[in-house]
Copies of this chain bind each other. A is one copy, B any other.
Amino acid sequence: MKIIVAGGDGFCGWPTALYLSKQGFDVAIIDNLVRREYDVEMDSNSLTPIAPLEERVAKWKEVSGKNIDLYIGDLNDYDFLSQVFEAFKPEAFVHYAEQRSAPYSMIDREHAIYTQSNNVLGTLNVLYAMKAFAPDCHLIKLGTMGEYGTPNIDIEEGWIDIEHKGRKDRMLYPKKPGSFYHLTKVHDSHNIEFACRSWGIRATDLNQGVVYGINIDENDQDPILYNRFDYDGIFGTVLNRFIVQAAKGLPLSVYGKGGQTRGFINIEDTVRCIEIAALNPAERGEFRVFNQMTQYFSVQDLAEKVKKVAEEEGLEVTISHVENPRVEQEEHYFHAVSTRLEDLGLKPHQLTDDVIRRVLKLAMDNIDRLKEDKVMNSPSWK
């Protein structure tokens, strides 16, 4: 199957491209390399050194014998996107190519505008390109569990059966996201659902939980193939950030009360979920939503898990509660249904001590690269 991984230079996209290539997919990466530019803008970095994308792809060819096509450009450049569709003729389009940090979107007006413009209009271009050049292509779009917010009822997979005043309908699940970034994913979902309904596009919207872990087996074959490791307050996701704090002897910084509960997923499952979606495409006109998460934890739970493992490794660890830069509920109900990917064959990797230990060792090996002043640089939501 010919499959595009847009955003294939990023934290999820790069392992996904390698994994799909290994499984025998014919993979092309689209990327504008902007994730690396955000590092320059923020004066932050990946804790692991990361090779330029061309080197990564060349090394993959060397170790696997498999080719990955590379298209360097921006989804917001429709001429470029059209040329990629015409040249590669994708059967599936995996779309990671969005600005994916909530704090980044909340820095100021310019970053909010950039995030909404980049994500929403870029995805609109993808929909128009599919309509024009590949109407049978399957869009596999990364959304986020954060689209739902923290409702007081169970979170369903994208759609909910509502009975109201004696009548019934299957409705899109109501969304209440917590940042201008998360809002872009809600906007995308609505735009995509409309394109499915009006044009017969086939789409799978993957509402992914917070990802943890760094390298999958394919990354681990050579340092040139290593994945990026974000630990800063803007792009670092919570578990990976706690692990870096533990490795450096910094207190694990829990925002507020720490009762914020979220869905999580191991990056080894992320790549498998994409494969499952690709092998089981949505029907023409179907807008299908899977909740791509396997467990849920509170922020406090995660801090305690990291503390335990780090102490076993001989590190001294404290947990501190810091003022929450976000506007969010710190104690709330959380229950999300996430059975559809398992029904299609996902065998979840649990968050074990060994998983934490593996990331911790990677952090300790690279701790000299840490920019300590970037660990707690999240902007305030207010």
Contact = CB atoms under 8 A, between A and B. Distances in A.
A198 B325 CA distance: 11
18 contacts: A109-B124, A112-B128, A116-B121, A116-B191, A117-B121, A120-B120, A153-B164, A153-B171, A154-B165, A162-B174, A167-B333, A172-B174, A173-B174, A174-B174, A177-B190, A178-B194, A183-B194, A199-B382
Given A153-B162, A164-B153, A177-B194, A109 B125 contact: yes
Nearest to A176: B172
B154 A167 contact: yes
Given A177-B190, A191-B180, A124 B112 contact: yes
Nearest to A182: B194
A255 interface: no
Given A174-B172, A194-B177, A381-B198, A120 B167 contact: no
Interface residues on chain A, size class: 35 or more
A230 interface: no
A140 to B, nearest CB: 21
Nearest to A191: B183
Contacts of A167: 152-154, 333
A128 B109 contact: yes
A167 B150 CA distance: 13
Contacts of A164: 153-154, 160, 162
Contact of A327 (B173, B176, B180, B197): B197
A108 B299 CA distance: 45
A214 interface: no
A124 B154 CA distance: 30
Interface in A103-156: 109, 112-113, 116-117, 120-121, 124-125, 128, 151-154
Nearest to A188: B187
A182 B160 CA distance: 22
A323 to B, nearest CB: 15
A176 B190 CA distance: 7
B180 A171 contact: no
Given A165-B153, A191-B180, A120 B116 contact: yes
A284 B259 CA distance: 27
Contact of A198 (B186, B193, B382): B382
B152 A169 contact: yes
Contacts of A179: 194
